Amino acid sequence: MKIIEVKNLTKIYNGKKKTIAVNNISFEVEKGEIIGLLGPNGAGKTTTIKCIATLIIPDSGDIFIKGKNAFKHPSFALKNISAVLEGNRNIYWRLSVRNNLEFFAGLQGLNPKKIKNKIDELIDYFNLREKEKAQARFLSRGMQQKLAVACAFVRDTEILLLDEPTLGLDVETTHELKELIKKKAKEEGKTLILSSHNMKLVEDICERVIIINKGKVVAIDSIRNLKEFFGYKDFYFEIEGKIKEEIKREFIEKFELVKFKEDEYVTEIEIELKSAEYIYDVIDMMRKNSFKLKRIEERTPDFEEIYLKIVKNG
Ligand SMILES: Nc1ncnc2c1ncn2[C@@H]1O[C@H](COP(=O)(O)OP(=O)(O)OP(=O)(O)O)[C@@H](O)[C@H]1O
Ligand SMILES: [Mg+2]
């Protein structure tokens, strides 16, 4: 079932200068999907997320939540969506950890007394027990962010929108929060849209990604397909001694994407091949020129490199 449908969404900010933040974007999300929303700074990710959460009204286009037009039925949309937006305005600073959770449960019409167990579970799950009675403003940045995510989960909506949930967190807390979100979203079958600049996190949590740039969609696909489609094989060779300039030129003519690096003792050659089969040609040329091969390594690009390629080439 398509739980979120974004159709020809356009949002223009009319400041001193007119900014087309989101330019005719369309995509659909299936129930239970975990989707990454990626793109450079200013691409329009936060604007898109705010539109889905009905926090801002687009200039044109529609959003359907479970088949219902979100702007015609905003309270229905809000009942189904929890959002953690970028920054630290997601929780109430003067309320304690527990009171924040109770407040957000209350927003969903849940009686905090009746879901005391659930709140306790969340406090333990997000490792906030020690600070349960502390006001949110006295928590560390990482704990505040964990609380914000816990508050999104306490409402138990089908859809979660997380805008850069690990921004500014240290390596350890990023890892912790990533694991917590991943496990809980999967267990509870949540539909999750997550924006992040952390490609390792995206690769680990998301099955599919939507990449936007300058307000337009540049790719929507599974990470696996993008890797296959934009991936290339990089081969790295280590050769004993130096290589004559004319032979280097021969390599460059034949294989185009060749990089040489040399010192007194070794020459490193890096070649990007469209397919692994070309390796035979490389080896043939090396044999013909009596190269002393010390090492071969295959290097496949990681998702971050592929992401950069997609964004740069549009
Ligand atoms: N309230 C606003 N008023 C005017 N322009 C805005 C406003 N909010 C965003 N913009 C502009 O809209 C464009 C998209 O911004 P948005 O915040 O959606 O990008 P983003 O993809 O979330 O970027 P980041 O990765 O930096 O968070 C940018 O050019 C931004 O300057
Ligand atoms: Mg943003």
* Domain annotation for the chain: domains and CATH numbers: 2-228 (3.40.50.300), 231-313 (3.30.70.980)
Tell me the whole-structure pTM to 2 decimals: 0.86
pLDDT at 275: 76
Question: Which among 23, 46, 161, 213 is the best mutation to test ligand 1's pocket, defined by most ligand atoms within 8 Å of the CB?
Answer: 46
C-beta of 46 in contact with ligand 1 (< 6 A): yes
**In angstroms, rounded to a whole number, what is the distance separating the alpha carbons of residues 9 and 20?**
11
- The residue ranges of the chain whose pLDDT is under 50 are none
Sign, CA torsion 259/263/267/270: negative
**In angstroms, rounded to a whole number, what is the distance separating the alpha carbons of residues 191 and 161?**
8
Q: Residues 58-98: pLDDT tens digits?
A: 999 999 999 999 999 999 999 999 999 987 789 999 999 99
C-beta of 14 in contact with ligand 1 (< 6 A): no
What tokens were used for 293? 């091969």
Nearest atom of ligand 1 to the alpha carbon of 44: 18
C-beta of 160 in contact with ligand 1 (< 6 A): no
Nearest protein Cα to ligand 1, atom 6: 13
Do the Cβ atoms of 194 and 206 come closer than 8 Å? yes
Reference 31, options 203, 218, 160; nearest CA is 160
Residue 284 corresponds to which amino acid?
Answer: D
- Measure 117 CA to ligand 2 centroid, in angstroms: 34
Nearest atom of ligand 1 to the alpha carbon of 43: 21
C-beta of 174 in contact with ligand 1 (< 6 A): no
Do the Cβ atoms of 97 and 123 come closer than 8 Å? yes
- Measure 42 CA to ligand 1 centroid, in angstroms: 5
Q: Residues 166-218: pLDDT tens digits?
A: 998 999 999 999 999 999 999 999 999 999 999 999 999 999 999 999 999 99
